[in-house]
């Protein structure tokens, strides 16, 4: 289990792209295991990739982000969406502390601009277990919605989640 945690940390640090050499640097992973893990990651990337997944409801994005639900630090994620409401990519924008994460529109929209995204979905986990948004969460949502309008990139959803459930700003009429 400890080796798996190290691999997950490596995936987070390298935006889910670890090559064999990076895998071999992880304690407990030798050349054979690194090759096997790299093959499994590539298989998953090709067969279970999110690109093209159609988003119609806030819950449609949960399978792409749920693996961050049990993290001990806040992870702020951004999913780029094309004009047909299909996923282009999901990325970690920032990793914060137990109860907060620094978020700036520049960082959130950098990749969606490059992706030529028509919309974004933002999400972050709450390690505390409380799914209700904080005042800061509400402020950040308003700021990102405004920045997106300026850029011509619509903020579709903001989701707060953990391993037990989620809170959707849209479903609570706060977006």
Q: Is the pLDDT of residue 14 over 70?
A: no
* pLDDT-above-70 percentage for the chain: 90
16 to each of 10, 12, 22, 44, 78, how far by Cα in Å?
A: 8, 6, 12, 11, 14
What is the overall mean pLDDT for the chain? 88
CA dihedral 65, 96, 129, 147 (to 10 degrees): -60
| Beta-bridge partners for 119 | 81, 154
Angle at 63 between CA 71 and CA 127, to 5 degrees: 20
pTM of structure? 0.74
d(CA 30, CA 33): 5
103 to each of 96, 131, 150, how far by Cα in Å?
A: 9, 18, 17
pLDDT digits (tens, 9 = 90+) for 85-131: 999 999 999 998 756 678 999 999 999 999 999 999 999 999 988 99
pLDDT digits (tens, 9 = 90+) for 149-170: 999 999 999 999 999 999 999 9
- What average pLDDT score do residues 76-82 get? 96
**Residue with the larger pLDDT of the pair 17 and 38:** 38
* pLDDT-above-90 percentage for the chain: 57
Is residue 65 within 8 A of residue 158, CB to CB? The reply is: no
């Amino acid at each position: 289990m400890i080796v798996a945690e190290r691999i997950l940390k490596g995936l987070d640090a390298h935006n889910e792209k670890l090559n064999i050499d990076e895998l071999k640097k992880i304690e407990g992973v030798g050349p054979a295991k690194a090759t096997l893990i790299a093959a499994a990651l590539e298989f998953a990337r090709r067969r279970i990739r999110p690109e093209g997944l159609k988003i119609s409801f806030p819950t449609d994005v949960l399978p792409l982000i749920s693996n961050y639900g049990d993290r001990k630090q806040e992870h702020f994620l951004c999913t780029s969406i094309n004009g047909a409401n299909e996923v282009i990519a999901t990325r970690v924008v920032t990793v914060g502390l137990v109860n907060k994460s620094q978020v700036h529109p520049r960082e959130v929209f950098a990749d969606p601009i490059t992706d030529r995204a028509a919309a974004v979905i933002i999400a972050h986990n709450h390690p505390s277990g409380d799914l209700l948004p904080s005042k800061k969460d509400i402020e950040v949502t308003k700021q990102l919605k405004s920045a997106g309008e300026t850029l011509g990139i619509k903020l579709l959803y903001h989701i707060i989640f953990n391993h037990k459930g989620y809170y959707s700003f849209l479903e609570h009429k706060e977006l």
